[in-house]
A and B are shown apart, each in its own frame.
Chain A
Amino acid sequence: MIHARKKLLASALAAVLMPAAALATVAVPTAAHAAEEADCQLTAVHALKKGDGTIPKSLDFLADQLKDDEFAAYKSFKLIERKALKLKRDTASEARFSTGNRIGLTLLGNEGSRLKLHADIRSRNGETKLLAADYSIANGGVLLVRAGELEHDGETGKLFFAIQCSGKV
C-alpha cells in the first residue's frame, strides 16, 4: 500500500517537473540573446558654475546623475543639443554636434544584460581625438564625458556629453 502511494507521488512529481525542465531548456538560450542593435541618444550639456541649481525639464531624464556629488560644483545645466543614433553590431555610427564635436559609437555586443560599446569622441575642430573607450554599461545606462571648456550663449562652462544606449538583450 505504502509502495503504491510512493509510486503515485513519484509519477505526480515527474509530471510537474518535466514540463518545467523542458521550458527551462528552451528559455535559457532565449535569455542569452545577443544584442544586434541598439538605439542611442547623445546629449550635449553645458554645465555652469552660476545659477540657482535647478535642472531644466529638458534634462529631467539626467536629474539623478546631475544631482550626484560629481556635479556639485555646477549650479546650472543647459541642454545644447540631442542626437539619436541607431547602432548595428560592429558597425560604427557617428553624430556631429553644433559645437563641432563628433561622437562615434559602435555596439560591440553584450555581457548578459549589459551592453558593450565603443565610444570615440573628437574635439571641436572635429579632427583631434579626445577619447576612445571600450566599456560595458547597464541597458539604458548613461555614460558622461567631460569634453573641456565651452563658451555657449555668452556663458563659459564645461561641455558634457551624455551617452545612453538601449538594446534588446
Chain B
Amino acid sequence: MNTEATAGVNPEELHAFFDDELPADRADAIERMLAEDSDLGAEHEQLGLMRGTLRASLEAEAEAVPQARFEQVWDEIDRAIERDARLQAEADRSPSVWARVWAAFKPLRLPALAAAGAAAVTLAVISTDSEDPNKTPAVASVDETSDAKPAAPAPAPSEAETPEPTRLADANPGGQATPPEPEIAPMPVPESSEAEIHEIDFGGKNGRISNTGTVTVLYVEDVEATSSERSL
C-alpha cells in the first residue's frame, strides 16, 4: 500500500532518481520518502536488480565476442574515417587556374611532348655537327689565364694532360646510388583485378571475401569459426 509520500512519486520520477537525474532538493525529498516507505524502497531496489541483471548479460555477451571481431570492427571504422577524410580533403581542394589549363590541354600533351622530343634531338644533332669533333668537354674547364700560350702550337695531348673521360663516372660511384634490383621482375597488373570466387574453404575458420572493383581480398581470420550470429 502506498503511503502519502509514495503517492507523490511517479514511476518516471523514481527512474530519474535512480539515474541521478533529479535536482538535488527533489532527490533529497525522494531519498527521505524511500527511507519511510517500504513499498517505494522495494520498487527502487527492483530497479537496481534489473540494472545488475542487464549489465551481467551484456558483459557475458561481450565476453563471447572474440578479440578479432573487435579488431575487425575497428578496422572498418578506421577505414571509414580515412575514406571520409580523404574525400573531404579532395572536395576541399579546388583546382588552380594552371591545373584547369593543364587539364584542358590534356589531349595535346602527347603530340607536344613528341614534337619537343624531336626538336631536342634535332638541336642535339645540329650542335654536335657544329662542334670540333676533337674538342672534349674538359677543355672548357682549362684555366686560360694560367700559363696559356696561344701562339705556341698545340702540343699533342699527353697521357698526363688528357682529361680523364671517366671522371664523370667517378662522381657517381656505382653500386651505391642505384638500389639493388629485385630478383624477380614484377609483372604488369591489369586495371581491374576483381576475382570471381567459385569455391572457398577457410579451413574451419571464419573468413570473408571483399570485392571493391579494383581488387579482391580474402580475409582469413585468426579465430576458429563460431555459430554466433555476430559472425561477420
Real complex partners, A and B? yes
Which A residues lie within 8 Å of B219 (CB)?
145-146
For the complex, give the distance between the alpha carbons of A25 and B206 in Å. Answer: 49
B193 and A65 contacting across the interface, CB-CB below 8 Å:
yes
Which B residues lie within 8 Å of A145 (CB)?
217-220
Kindly state whether residue B201 has any CB partner on chain A within 8 Å.
yes
For the complex, give the distance between the alpha carbons of A62 and B182 in Å. Answer: 14
Kindly state whether residue A100 has any CB partner on chain B within 8 Å.
no
Kindly state whether residue B82 has any CB partner on chain A within 8 Å.
yes
Number of interface residues of A (CB under 8 A): 47
A140 and B188 contacting across the interface, CB-CB below 8 Å:
yes
Q: Select from chain B the residue with minimum beta-carbon distance to A119.
A: B218
A65 and B183 contacting across the interface, CB-CB below 8 Å:
no
Dominant SS at the B interface? mixed
Which A residues lie within 8 Å of B201 (CB)?
129, 131-133
User: What 1/0 flags go to B197-222 for Cβ under 8 Å of A?
Assistant: 11111111101001010111111111
A141 and B203 contacting across the interface, CB-CB below 8 Å:
no
A-B contact count (CB 8 A): 137
Tell me, rounded to whole Å, the shortest Cβ–Cβ distance linking A2 to chain B. 48
For the complex, give the distance between the alpha carbons of A131 and B203 in Å. Answer: 6
A61 and B214 contacting across the interface, CB-CB below 8 Å:
no
In the complex where A144-B218, A146-B218 touch, is A136 in contact with B196 (Cβ < 8 A)? Answer: yes
Tell me, rounded to whole Å, the shortest Cβ–Cβ distance linking A155 to chain B. 17
A144 and B222 contacting across the interface, CB-CB below 8 Å:
no
Interface, chain B (partner A; CB < 8 A): 75, 78-79, 82-83, 86, 179, 182-184, 186-205, 207, 210, 212, 214-222
Known A133-B198, A137-B194; 19 more pairs at CB < 8 Å: A41-B187, A68-B215, A70-B79, A73-B78, A82-B184, A114-B196, A131-B200, A132-B199, A134-B198, A134-B199, A135-B198, A136-B195, A136-B196, A136-B198, A138-B194, A141-B190, A144-B218, A147-B220, A164-B187
